[in-house]
A = this chain, B = another copy of it.
Amino acid sequence: MDEKAMYKLSYGLFVLTAKEDEKDNGCIINTAIQAASEPNQLSICVNKANYTHDMIKRTGKFTVSVLSQSVEFELFKHFGFQSGRDINKFEAFDKCARSTNGVYYITEGTNAYISVTVNKTEDLGSHTMFIGEITDMETLSNVPSVTYEYYQNNIKPKPREVGKTDDGQTIWRCRICGYEYVGEELPDDFICPICKHPASDFEKVVKKWR
């Protein structure tokens, strides 16, 4: 059984947003698909570690902004590398507008948004699947959508020079999304803050600081 077979599946990339009372939040997901056509339904799978997950579970509403090839890495960092539990991701962020469901969608680096009201929830262990009917959707640009593969090849920063040096620091790089953790030892229970993959998906990289 070769686990790498899972890497052959194709995905888009999305900012998933929710609103609960006065709190807005968003995270990065790769699992939005049209689940059925009659009625038109969207499904998403969200890691339970995401604060947006809990907000959707409580409010039953979300919006998916489809990332386009004009998206910058900065947006992945903004929504993917930090948690809404610690900061307000929308405090100084103005590339957004409200959908008719009251939830923010992202207006730059995106080509469409789709708003959903949840009517089915499946507990799948590490993730929850939310399925719902579409209440609003609009096209925002004609720039092609980003696939996960495009992100890996064109958006994710390329690894810096690698080599063993006296002044080298150990970097642990997530093989899945490219997130880098600095420190001699990576904790066994470390979870990648962007893609939520476990420590076993990190590789050790010794790089020379320049």
Contact = CB atoms under 8 A, between A and B. Distances in A.
A10 interface: yes
B39 A125 contact: yes
A149 interface: yes
Q: What is the total number of copies of this protein in its complex?
A: 2
Given A8-B145, A10-B12, A144-B149, A1 B138 contact: yes
A32 B6 CA distance: 10
Contacts of A134: 1
A169 interface: no
A113 B37 contact: no
Interface stretch (A40-48, A54-62, A81-89, A202-210): A40-48
Contact of A138 (B5, B11, B41, B45): B5
A92 interface: no
B9 A124 contact: no
A102 to B, nearest CB: 16
A146 B120 CA distance: 30
A6 B124 contact: no
A138 B8 CA distance: 10
Contact of A35 (B40, B111, B124, B139): B124
Given A6-B114, A66-B9, A112-B8, A127 B36 contact: yes
Interface string A123-157: 01111010100101111000011110100000000
A2 interface: yes
Contacts of A35: 31, 45, 124, 127, 129
B38 A9 contact: no
Contacts of A38: 125-126
Contacts of A31: 33-35
7 closest A-B pairs by beta carbon, nearest first, are: A10-B12, A36-B124, A5-B137, A36-B127, A38-B126, A5-B112, A8-B112
